[in-house]
Amino acid sequence: MEHVVEKHRRDGLPATFDQVDLPALAAREGTPLYVYSAPALRQRVRALRQALSGLNAGIRYAVKANGNAAVLRLLAEEGAGADIVSAGELERALRAGIAAADIVFSGVGKSDAEIVLALEVGIGRFNIESRAELDSLQRIAAARGLMATAAVRINPDVDAQTHAKISTGKAENKFGVSIAEARGWFQARAQWPNVRLDGLHMHIGSQLLSLAPVREALARMAAFWKELEAAGHPIASIDVGGGLGVRYREGEQAPDAREYAAAIAQALAGFGGRILVEPGRWLVAEAGLLLSRVLLEKHGQERRFLVLDAAMNDLLRPTLYDAWHDIVRIDGGQASVRYDVVGPVCETGDTFATDRLLPPCAAGELVAILGAGAYAASMGSTYNSRPLPAEVLVDGDRYALVRRRQTLDELLAAELPATEWRRT
Ligand SMILES: *Cc1c(COP(=O)(O)O)cnc(C)c1O
């Protein structure tokens, strides 16, 4: 399967993205600018649906990867439901036209207010991560005379072989509960009469480049599902989480959707219920880039810096995870200079790449940071009082502005001078 971004990478220059001229786009909409490709998004979601077509399976897109309303709507139109982790994401999913029944609610700390909202709109399933949360769900559902549907998030204690900050399926991680604890919940099911506890859930980590840990975790889940059914606890849904990795750099090989589906089919052979998958990154990462202009080139005492108008507040992954993103000069040229590519924020960690071989770049030059469709705009902040960047969706030779650049007025709007003093 060839991705739009991969194709551009192979052809050398991303001077166009789909058929939209990037320099012209930057001139019109300004930089830093997030650019997403609608065909690339469709290609991924269709490939996954196709791969899963032999199974009774549904996609629950992890909204946190990229919750932009237009991206979400596009994925919803392609049949994706949503995996949410907050009331804000619930609102996004509903506004994008996703049916409440196709929404699952994950996360280790759901507030009562969030549980109330999700119950009242009738979301499909709560993924429960602790006994305290199960008790809260029971209390809130009972008070409203409602029945909640829930899955237990199992922490299968496998090493997902990914960055420590995005590994979630080891016993020492905060996520999920052990099989032993979950077994106790099923045995005591009657204690939670307003909770239909009939599902299993897992999510072992993100940016998984090997399916081996997924297979190991699935095997543990399958054994537990069979044990539960034998003990008289019917299981209607197994949610295998997300985590599929993508190719951020040369030499990396993202798992193939068909292999992933085959691993699920093999592990869950004989399961008669609904299978859910919660991909985030795999659907959107490679469909996006961050377009940025070089502010200046600086010859430091020891290194050569390329200072961009994008910064860590726009794209945090390099700072947070030491993540690699390919960076390309839009006008092409022979890579001959080693730059530290940095942003203007007052942090040494505001570094997109170190010692990166690029064509010589002068002030005003456009560069694209690739693989910026996931955990990019959605992790943005206004640190250093930098407004959130604009986002556009391109489709063929057209583009739509799908998020206006934040204005300084908007950035400052909620703040108040301390003129009105109150007493509690
Ligand atoms: C973040 C998350 C996902 C998506 O992870 P990706 O690596 O982006 O596929 C899925 N499920 C849960 C519970 C998550 O927290």
**Residue 266 maps to which CATH number?**
3.20.20.10
Let me know whether 193 and 138 are in one domain. yes
Residues 380-414 pLDDT 10s:
999 999 999 999 999 999 999 999 999 999 999 99
Asked if residue 203 belongs to a domain, the reply is yes
pLDDT for the residue 9:
52
Please give the Cα distance from 201 to 223 (Å, whole number).
13
Residue range 122-145: mean pLDDT, rounded: 98
Q: Same domain for 329 and 399?
A: yes
3-state class of 125 per DSSP? strand
Q: Is residue 101 part of a domain?
A: no
Are 372 and 390 found together in one domain?
yes
Q: Which tens digit of pLDDT belongs to each residue from 153-162?
A: 999 988 878 8
Residues 249 and 342 in one domain: no
Looking at the fold, whether 294 and 245 belong to one and the same domain comes out as: no
Whether residue 66 lies inside any domain: the answer is no
Model confidence at 15, in pLDDT bands (50, 70, 90)?
confident
Residues 307, 221, single domain; the answer is no
Question: Which letter does DSSP use for residue 167 in this model?
Answer: B
Same domain, 157 and 176: yes
Mutate to test the pocket of ligand 1, among 48, 60, 64 (most ligand atoms within 8 A of CB): 64
Q: Whose CA is nearest to atom 10 of ligand 1?
A: 242
The residue nearest atom 3 of ligand 1, judged by CA position, is 242
pLDDT score at 195: 98
Residue 60 lies in a domain: no
Ligand 1 first shell, C-beta below 6 A: 62, 64-65, 83, 106, 203, 206, 241-244, 278-282
What local confidence, expressed as pLDDT, does residue 152 receive? 98
What own/partner pairs with CB < 8 Å and gap ≥ 24 does 178-184 have? 178/154, 179/154, 179/220, 179/224, 181/131, 182/152, 182/154, 182/224, 183/224, 183/227, 183/228
**DSSP string covering 221-258:** HHHHHHHHHHTT----EEE----B----STT--PPPHH
Does one domain contain both 244 and 133? yes
pLDDT category at 59 given cuts 50, 70, 90 is: very high
What is residue 6's predicted lDDT score, i.e. its pLDDT? 53
Q: Are residues 139 and 267 in the same domain?
A: yes
**Ligand 1 pocket: which of 206, 248, 317 to mutate (most atoms <8 Å of CB)?**
206
Domain span at 317:
6-36+285-412
**In a domain? residue 98:** no
Q: Which of 279, 298, 328 is the last residue of a domain?
A: 279
**pLDDT per position as a tens digit, 65-123:** 999 999 999 999 999 999 999 999 999 999 999 999 999 999 999 999 999 999 999 99
Cα–ligand 1 centroid distance for 5 (angstroms): 22
Asked if residue 94 is part of any domain, the answer here is: no
Number of structural domains (the chain) is 2
pLDDT at 194 (0 to 100): 98
pLDDT tens, residue by residue, 164-210: 887 788 888 888 999 999 999 999 999 999 999 999 999 999 999 99
Please report, for the domain that includes residue 333, its CATH number. Answer: 2.40.37.10
Report d(CA 338, CA 268) in Å as an integer.
49
115 and 254 part of one domain: yes
Using only C-alpha atoms, the chain has a radius of gyration, in whole angstroms, of 23
Q: How far apart are CA 137 and CA 288, in angstroms?
A: 37
End-of-domain residue from the set 279, 294, 321: 279
Of the chain, the percentage scoring pLDDT greater than 90 comes to: 88
Look at residues 80, 19, 9 and name the one whose alpha carbon lies nearest to residue 283: 80
Do 128 and 275 belong to one domain? yes
Q: Active-site positions?
A: 346
Give the pLDDT band of residue 1 (cuts 50, 70, 90).
very low
Give the start-end residues of each E strand in 189-342: 195-201, 237-239, 274-277, 288-299, 304-308, 327-329, 337-342
Name the domain boundary from 260, 279, 298.
279
Nearest 10 degrees: Cα torsion 244, 246, 251, 256: 50
d(CA 225, CA 221): 6
In a domain, 81, yes or no: no
Q: Is residue 91 part of a domain?
A: no
Distance 203 CA to ligand 1 centre (A): 7
Question: What is the C-alpha separation between 330 and 12, in angstroms, rounded?
Answer: 10
Cis peptide bond upstream of 234, omega within 30: no
pLDDT band per the 50, 70, 90 thresholds, residue 14: low
Q: Is 317 annotated as a binding residue?
A: yes
CA of 279 to the centre of ligand 1 (A): 6
Neighbouring C-beta atoms of residue 222, cutoff 10 Å:
19
Q: Does 347 count as an annotated binding residue?
A: yes
Same domain, 245 and 309: no
Q: Ligand 1 center to residue 64 CA distance, Å?
A: 8
Q: Which atom of ligand 1 is nearest to the CA of 244?
A: 9
Q: Is 243 one of the annotated binding-site residues? A: yes
